[in-house]
Each structure stands twice: as structure tokens, then as C-alpha cells.
Amino acid sequence: MSRDVPLHIIHLEQDDPKKCTARKLASRELATLHFSTRRPPRRGYLLDPSAGIILGPDDLPLIEKGAALVALDCSWKRLTESLEQIKSSSPRLEGRTLPLVLAANPISWGKPGRLSTVEALAMCLVLLDRDEQARRILQPFSWGEQFLILNAEPLAAYKAADSRQNLVDVQWEFFDHPED
């Protein structure tokens, strides 16, 4: 049995605290919350939609050595400035983006890629073959199981990908490729 992946969240307090999935995860000891960009782990992957490198099977060796997943909990409207702040203070974290899936959270339901913090972390865990941990972190949310149901087909296909490039190609079987 694989050990749990350490989950860390940099919380910038930019969103409504009542809708904050990061706080709920931390209150249930499912993730570690950081209120400073200088405190996250120094080894691991920072979830960054602009990274240009997709999280995939190629990243498993570092995860198996105990590397962490680090999510940024901020407003989508302030994403760019928030990422710049983190990259300058945590240069050793490697940026990774995620293949497309649909959001199941009530704020962005059905929107491709507009995931809440818990959905993004669960997506990572599924990609890294940690399905049980993904289910565990989604459990506190009334819509958590719906995230897995809504995305069952792409998640199964993504898990079967044997390389980062294969994962990128598979995503376009489920979602429209953006116009270049």
C-alpha cells in the first residue's frame, strides 16, 4: 500500500471563508495550511495552471520519495499575482498543471479546469494512483463524490496514460482543443 502524499496549501485569504475548501481540509487534518508563502515544503510540486508541464506518471519517482503536493488557495481573479509571489519565495517547488476535468463544486460546476483547491488536489492524487486518499479528502464535501462521478471517464483514461505526453494527448479526446 502506498503512503499518503503530503498535501500543503498556501492560503492567501482572498475568498469567502465559508466556501473555502482549504480551511475545511485543514480542520479535518487532511492537509496542512500555510498563511505565508515562505513556509511550504521545499520539495514537491506546486499546482500552477500556467506551468506548461502537466502532472503525470513521470512525476511519481519524486512523490514516492516523499515530495509534497502544494496547492495555492487564492481568488481566480488574483491568480497571476499570487503565483508570482509564491514563485519568488519557493523557487524549489516545480510547477505542474493538470489535465482538464469538470468542476463539481457549486461555484464553478461544469466549468472545465475551474477547480476548487480540494478538487485540484484530488485530481493530483488520482493521477498519482492514490485513489483512496483522493476519496478521503473529497468526503467532507457534499459534492465531493460527484466530482469523481462527473469525471469518471477522463480520470480513468488519464490514469492509464503511461507518460506526460500521452496524458496531454488523451485530454483532447474528452475536451475541445483550444484554437492556436
Any bridge partners for residue 70, and if so which?
Answer: 8, 46
Question: Could you tell me the three cell numbers for 25?
Answer: 481540509
What is the pTM for the complete model shown? 0.89
**CA torsion through residues 73, 75, 81, 83, sign:** positive
Q: What is the pLDDT confidence band of residue 139, given thresholds at 50, 70 and 90?
A: very high
Model confidence over 166-178: pLDDT tens digits?
999 999 999 887 7
How many whole angstroms separate alpha carbon 141 and alpha carbon 90?
30
Model confidence over 152-167: pLDDT tens digits?
999 999 999 999 999 9
How many whole angstroms separate alpha carbon 15 and alpha carbon 162?
36
Q: Strand order in 94-96's β-sheet?
A: 32-34, 7-11, 68-73, 44-47, 94-96
Short-list 146, 122, 96, 129, CA closest to 21: 122
Short-list 10, 107, 98, CA closest to 48: 98
Average pLDDT (137-149) is: 96
**150 to each of 5, 27, 161, how far by Cα in Å?**
24, 26, 19
Where exactly are the structural domains of the chain?
7-171
Using a 10 angstrom Cβ sphere, with 0-12 exposed, 13-18 middle and 19 or more buried, the burial of residue 130 is buried
